[in-house]
Chains A and B, each alone.
Chain A
Amino acid sequence: MVALLIKNFIRSKGLLVGLAILFISGIISLNIGKQFLEKNEKIIQKTSHFQKENIDRYVQYMNKEMGLLLYYVRFGLVNETPNIVGLSIGQRDINPSLHNVTIRNLEEQKYTTDLMNPMYQLIGNMDLSFVIIYFFPLIIIAFGFNLVSEEKEEGTWSLVLSQTANTQKMLRLKAGVRYVSILSVLFLLLLIAKFYLSIPFDIYFTVYILTAFFYISFWFSLVWLVVSFHKNSSQNALILLTSWITLTIIVPALMNALVIQLYPIPEAFSTVLDSRDGYHSQWDKAKEPTIEKFHQLYPQLVKYNHPKDKDFSWLWYYAMQQMGDETAVASSKKLKEKIKQRENLSKKLGLWVPTIHTQLTMNTLCFSDITNYLAFIEALERFHEQKRMYFYPKIFSDTPVSSEKWDTFSLAYFKNQPVINLYMVLLPYLIISTLCLLWANINFNRKKYNL
């Protein structure tokens, strides 16, 4: 019977077209991922080159004072983009994967955005995750909505009943052929992805494969459940398409509206004002309190002081800059917290919505979620601090510019290693899919001989 079912499957043109659509869109999506990676790589190479040029130029022209030189010189930190990002671009097209900062106050620099066409951000990237989350379920629905009803509507159901002792087994085989065919396309695409994007076979890629597998299995369970009610083809199609729209469009959009309403972020506005006033108002104030605060922050720098008779010193200048960051500390921290709260809430609520759960999980696995960006920003803060701590003593003691080996300041890299909780990733699928299958089983047993 299996052989016959397979033969029947291959003979039906519609089904093969469905698989071809999945395969082709999958290949296009991999190409989009590849282009994204290449563009990113190009940006990093160019920046590395520009940074070197920039340092060389300023060292040549601004070599009298260390303080003045470091007003200009920029240091780049790259948020490493592993090739797996190509599978799920996530927020990487919104938040920059590279920041170039001077040692002046960081608040005015760290929120700089990249240049992107907002229309493209609105449309979103057709990466492999998109194909898996949106297109695969549609084809699964097309393959399965009339699993039973087509036999009934074409009059072959009574034949099935009379010729097989176990109709459920026959239906299971019929569904199985479709399940295996769709999974084959998925695994083929993932295999191609592995080599085309040269993705290392590590924990992230493995879990990505598992997530995709479980997500697709969930849709099959759902189709199986709907089919088990023995309704006619158009009712099944309607129910399944409505589920698809609900899961891919309506619920995520409603949840997003909820998350934004629950956690508005006016801190994004106040950080800007705080850091600006924190720094610029210092020009009009007495120098002593500023320097005193600076000394409190960095006791190791107490030995450097502002010369009493001077209107200006680099110590005072950088202390003022530092005050910009210090004043904004509270709101900047709150800003980050709010973003984390948004992410946590959506992750929690999303656990029970397979589409959202899959998208958020894939973004995490592909280093492209907002948590990854926040980690990058925190790394940038440490990087900036470290650069300042390195240069402050040299600036304040007026070390000659020529004493520094400037060619050693190349781009720095940051790599975030997200922790993956396999249970949290896979359990929701298992629970939801099992519930669907159990319910379907009850229906099938009740309606065993239903014509």
Chain B
Amino acid sequence: MKKRTIQIVAKQVWVHTLKNKSSFWLISFFNILLCFALISGYYHHYNQQKTVKAYSHDVRERWESNPDKHPHRMAHYGYVVFREKFPLSFFDFGMDSYVGNVVFLEAHKQNTINFSEASLSNGLLRFGEISVGMILQLLLPLLVFFWGFGLITEERQHGTLRILLTQGVSWQELIIGKAVGLFYLSLTTYLPCFLLAFVFLLLDASTYHNVEIIGRFLILIISYLSYFFILSLLAVYVSSRSKSSKTSLVSLIGFWLFFALILPKVSQVAGKNLFISPSKIEFDTAIEQELIEQGDSHNPNDPHFKKIKDSLLKAYHVDSTHKLPFNYGGYIMREGERLSAETYQKHQIKLIQVYQKQQNLIRLTAPLNPLIAIKNISMALSGTDYIAYNNFQNQVETYRYHLAQTMNELQMKYISNRVKNSADKNARIEKKHWEEFPDFKAEFLPLRAVFMNEIISFLSLISWIIGFWLLIKYSGKHLKAF
């Protein structure tokens, strides 16, 4: 293959398409749409972050300004955590609007993370959200197909294909050249938006706290570039195999419909039936059943906790819990919290596994479906996929557990066994302990974990490129010049 020939063919595609007046309008339209999506996405993200910061600050202040009191009351006063969004989430909203934003953390109880954007919205949201990711994944392929469907068929219909081939241009050079030209054309629509997004990232303070964001962004850009290169190859290849421009266009649009709309929905139906996930009531009841079998830490006569009491009395050589060197109630609650958190975690892990299996079914279609591959990659790198959310869920539960146990330990250490109840004046500890308890700080997943989770999707994009390469290399003899 001669590089020079490829360049000439590519240039011809570029010049020919741009000569058409409609191209100017299409390019402008997509540039405006993408920049609008970027700016409005960023604006929304910025406001959201501001709100989350303000409320989180408020929560902290309220927590610290609590007066002296019994630590168990503080454990029930609890904490409220607001989900912080990943700095790149303005690029691709992914699942962000469907996952919860606020969670109330208290002792003994794992509350659900509530107030997803979807729960506050109406049917309009289900048409999809306008984000840079959505436009790149769903709409721009159509433009590439529109520009590309006739690239070979038209040459064939006009009879210029024969001339090209007799002049020494090989099929491979022709297809690659046309695809490269088409790919260059597609750049005109999204490159300005990518640059603007990069500027936004550089202006954002959070980028400097987490340098990985730049790395993520670069991988994101490279993935999108490969995606559009695959689409260009696909369009030109389909055009080379089609008898007429019409069949070429119909096949490409059919391809889009099948992969963008139908396949994800079908894999969803299949996943739902293959891997049954429990409803909230089943989930809660299963945990409750197990906890009942383990015993109730609030009930002093419970057999499980009675056994603990007896062994404690024996170990410390005392005849009553009042004489233990620590607060007995706190000890029992610490034990109860440990048991209930473990049980919850066990069920939660099982639930997440079911969800992962359901999602893997969709992920496994990625090698067939480049649209799903890029969607998964884009969500993952923008921090709006399921593992990003799950990571938040886990941190929240860890924090909740730590809060409850810290309060139980404070109770063990500072509260006498002789106090009547939590209203007793002697049952209070100083408020400085509240200040000592650290604030919640969300940590985002490291790039490596994100990358490994979507390895199938990355491999899928790579194999599409290699697959096309081989296909084009060896398919020359099956193609017809007229």
Show the binding face of A for B, using Cβ within 8 Å. 28, 32, 35, 39, 43, 46-47, 50, 57, 90-91, 94-96, 98, 100, 108, 111-124, 126, 134, 138, 233-234, 237-238, 241, 245, 248-250, 252-257, 259-261, 264-266, 268-270, 272-273, 276-277, 280, 283-284, 311-312, 335, 338-339, 342-343, 346, 350, 355-356, 359-360, 363, 369-370
Proximity bits, B161-183, A CB within 8 Å = 1, else 0: 00000000000000000000000
Residues of A within 8 A of B362 (CB): 119, 123
B44 at the interface (CB under 8 A from A): yes
B124 touches A122 (CB 8 A): no
**Cα–Cα, bound, A116→B406 (Å):** 32
A237 touches B122 (CB 8 A): no
A265 touches B120 (CB 8 A): yes
Lowest 9 CB-CB distances: which A-B pairs, in order?
Answer: A252-B127, A253-B130, A311-B423, A268-B115, A118-B98, A370-B122, A126-B265, A121-B98, A280-B77
Residues of A within 8 A of B142 (CB): 241, 245
B123 at the interface (CB under 8 A from A): yes
The one of A234, A252, A276 in contact with B104, judged by C-beta atoms closer than 8 angstroms, is A276
Which B residues, 71 to 128, have Cβ-Cβ distances below 8 Å to chain A?
73, 76-78, 80, 82, 94-95, 98-102, 104, 111-128
B192 at the interface (CB under 8 A from A): no
Report the minimum CB–CB distance from B427 to chain A (whole Å): 10
Known: A123-B265, A252-B128, A253-B127. A115 touches B40 (CB 8 A): no
Known: A100-B281, A115-B278, A122-B95. A268 touches B101 (CB 8 A): yes
B58 at the interface (CB under 8 A from A): yes
Which B residues, 37 to 86, have Cβ-Cβ distances below 8 Å to chain A?
40, 43-44, 47, 51, 55, 58-59, 62, 66-67, 69, 73, 76-78, 80, 82
Q: Can you spell out 17 A-B residue pairs with CB atoms less than 8 angstroms apart? A: A47-B281, A50-B281, A98-B281, A108-B104, A112-B112, A113-B119, A117-B358, A118-B98, A118-B389, A120-B272, A122-B94, A126-B268, A256-B130, A269-B82, A273-B80, A280-B76, A355-B127
The one of B51, B127, B139, B264 in contact with A269, judged by C-beta atoms closer than 8 angstroms, is B51
Residues of B within 8 A of A113 (CB): 100, 112-114, 116, 119, 280
The one of B51, B126, B129, B278 in contact with A266, judged by C-beta atoms closer than 8 angstroms, is B51
Known: A253-B130, A256-B130, A359-B126. A342 touches B120 (CB 8 A): yes
* B271, closest chain A residue (CB): A120
* B52, closest chain A residue (CB): A269
**Cα–Cα, bound, A120→B266 (Å):** 11
B82 touches A284 (CB 8 A): no
Most buried by B among A46, A122, A123, A338: A122
Tell which of B245-253, B313-321, B336-344, B447-455 binds the partner.
Answer: B245-253
Residues of B within 8 A of A117 (CB): 277, 355, 358-359
Which B residues, 267 to 314, have Cβ-Cβ distances below 8 Å to chain A?
268-269, 271-273, 277-283, 285, 292
B66 touches A284 (CB 8 A): yes
**Cα–Cα, bound, A338→B130 (Å):** 21
B138 at the interface (CB under 8 A from A): yes
A238 touches B146 (CB 8 A): yes
**Cα–Cα, bound, A123→B246 (Å):** 30
**Cα–Cα, bound, A106→B253 (Å):** 51
Apart from A57-B292, A116-B277, list 8 A-B contacts with CB within 8 A.
A122-B95, A123-B265, A123-B362, A138-B257, A256-B130, A280-B78, A346-B124, A359-B126
**Cα–Cα, bound, A413→B277 (Å):** 25
Report the minimum CB–CB distance from A368 to chain B (whole Å): 8
B351 at the interface (CB under 8 A from A): yes
B477 at the interface (CB under 8 A from A): no
B134 at the interface (CB under 8 A from A): yes
| Interface size, B (range) | 35 or more
The one of A43, A90, A254 in contact with B130, judged by C-beta atoms closer than 8 angstroms, is A254
Known: A273-B59, A283-B69. A91 touches B123 (CB 8 A): yes
B123 touches A360 (CB 8 A): yes
The one of A114, A241, A257 in contact with B279, judged by C-beta atoms closer than 8 angstroms, is A114
A369 touches B123 (CB 8 A): yes
The one of B122, B139, B389 in contact with A91, judged by C-beta atoms closer than 8 angstroms, is B122
Report the minimum CB–CB distance from A138 to chain B (whole Å): 7
Residues of A within 8 A of B351 (CB): 115
**Cα–Cα, bound, A233→B150 (Å):** 14
Proximity bits, B397-426, A CB within 8 Å = 1, else 0: 000000000000000000000001111100
A112 touches B114 (CB 8 A): yes
Residues of B within 8 A of A108 (CB): 104, 111
Report the minimum CB–CB distance from A83 to chain B (whole Å): 19
B331 at the interface (CB under 8 A from A): no
B249 touches A123 (CB 8 A): no
Most buried by A among B114, B130, B138: B130
B386 touches A119 (CB 8 A): yes
Residues of B within 8 A of A111 (CB): 114-115, 119
Known: A252-B124, A359-B127. A94 touches B98 (CB 8 A): yes
Report the minimum CB–CB distance from B196 to chain A (whole Å): 17
B359 touches A119 (CB 8 A): yes
B78 touches A276 (CB 8 A): yes
**Cα–Cα, bound, A259→B40 (Å):** 12
B261 at the interface (CB under 8 A from A): yes
Residues of B within 8 A of A95 (CB): 119
**Cα–Cα, bound, A277→B80 (Å):** 11
Report the minimum CB–CB distance from B58 to chain A (whole Å): 7
Residues of A within 8 A of B112 (CB): 112-113, 115
**Cα–Cα, bound, A264→B355 (Å):** 30
Residues of B within 8 A of A245 (CB): 139, 142
Report the minimum CB–CB distance from B437 to chain A (whole Å): 16
Residues of A within 8 A of B130 (CB): 250, 253-254, 256-257
Residues of B within 8 A of A359 (CB): 123-124, 126-127
The one of A273, A363, A370 in contact with B62, judged by C-beta atoms closer than 8 angstroms, is A273
**Cα–Cα, bound, A174→B100 (Å):** 52
Report the minimum CB–CB distance from A331 to chain B (whole Å): 12
The one of B120, B128, B129, B285 in contact with A268, judged by C-beta atoms closer than 8 angstroms, is B120
Known: A249-B139, A273-B59. A256 touches B125 (CB 8 A): yes
B245 touches A234 (CB 8 A): yes
**Cα–Cα, bound, A23→B142 (Å):** 26
Residues of A within 8 A of B420 (CB): 311
A94 touches B118 (CB 8 A): yes
Report the minimum CB–CB distance from A451 to chain B (whole Å): 21
Most buried by A among B51, B115, B142, B359: B115
* B125, closest chain A residue (CB): A256
Most buried by A among B82, B126, B138: B126
Residues of A within 8 A of B121 (CB): 256, 259-260, 342, 370
Report the minimum CB–CB distance from A95 to chain B (whole Å): 6
Residues of B within 8 A of A266 (CB): 51, 55
**Cα–Cα, bound, A34→B437 (Å):** 51
Residues of B within 8 A of A32 (CB): 269
